Amino acid sequence: MQDTVETASSAVIVAIDGPSGTGKSSTSKAVAAKLGLSYLDTGAQYRAITWWMLSNGIDTEDPQAIALAAAKPVIVSGTDPSAPTITVDGLDASGPIRTQEVTSKVSAVSAVPEVRALITDLQRTIAAAAEGGIVVEGRDIGTTVLPDADLKVFLTASAEARAARRSGELKGKEATDLATTKAALIKRDAADSGRKTSPLAKADDAVEVDTTDLTLDQVIECVVTLVEEKRAAK
């Protein structure tokens, strides 16, 4: 019984936001794994619905068409940080959602209010059901999805550092030169920050961590320390 009480009291909800290439996914998964928390990649959910739209012939430049189809796909996210999964209508979508085609269209699809409302509800449901706590990463988690999260972290990095990391991730798959990658990241930032519904933004009470000159291990250790401090204060 004592163990149950301790587990419940130490449950913590962590929101990690920031633009692409800041180390969000790697950091979030590692922190969740180290602390025994669940993990949710919200960006994968928006990629999943974008992939479904493309696969089903929906015009991703037509917000009305996207809105009408938004409720059709069934998206299921696994929350094991060591092996996160995502399916769409029962099909494994973990590979298809990472293509350049999906990357180039996801901002337009995710900007549609009906899409954001549906996915936000899904994210809140998953977070509420996570026993022991969860690390949720995205772009509007601390500001919109989970404004009452126990800890909010906003990761940043220079455009150059982010482009280098993202280009490295694509090698062997869809490798691009740094200038092209940097331009794509800046374009995505502008789209995500400028959308009317739940834009990419740092929550007022978020802890900002600039990862430009930090190794991944240093970023992970920094966030783990922040989470442990929050746990100890509960």
Q: How far is CA 163 from CA 42, 168, 179, in A?
A: 21, 8, 8
Tell me the pTM: 0.86
CATH number of the domain that residue 116 is part of: 3.40.50.300
Q: What is the pLDDT of residue 4?
A: 35
Residue 218 forms part of a structural domain: no
Tell me which residues of the chain have a pLDDT lower than 50. Answer: 1-9, 171-175
pLDDT in tens, 54-100: 999 999 999 999 999 999 999 999 999 999 999 999 999 999 999 98
Residue 144 forms part of a structural domain: yes
Residue 216 forms part of a structural domain: no
Residue 228 forms part of a structural domain: no
Task: State how many domains the chain has.
Answer: 1
Residue 215 forms part of a structural domain: no
Residue 141 forms part of a structural domain: yes
Q: What is the pLDDT of residue 215?
A: 92
Residue 183 forms part of a structural domain: yes
Q: What is the pLDDT of residue 64?
A: 98
Q: What is the pLDDT of residue 176?
A: 55
Residue 82 forms part of a structural domain: yes
* Structural domain boundaries, residue 145: 2-208
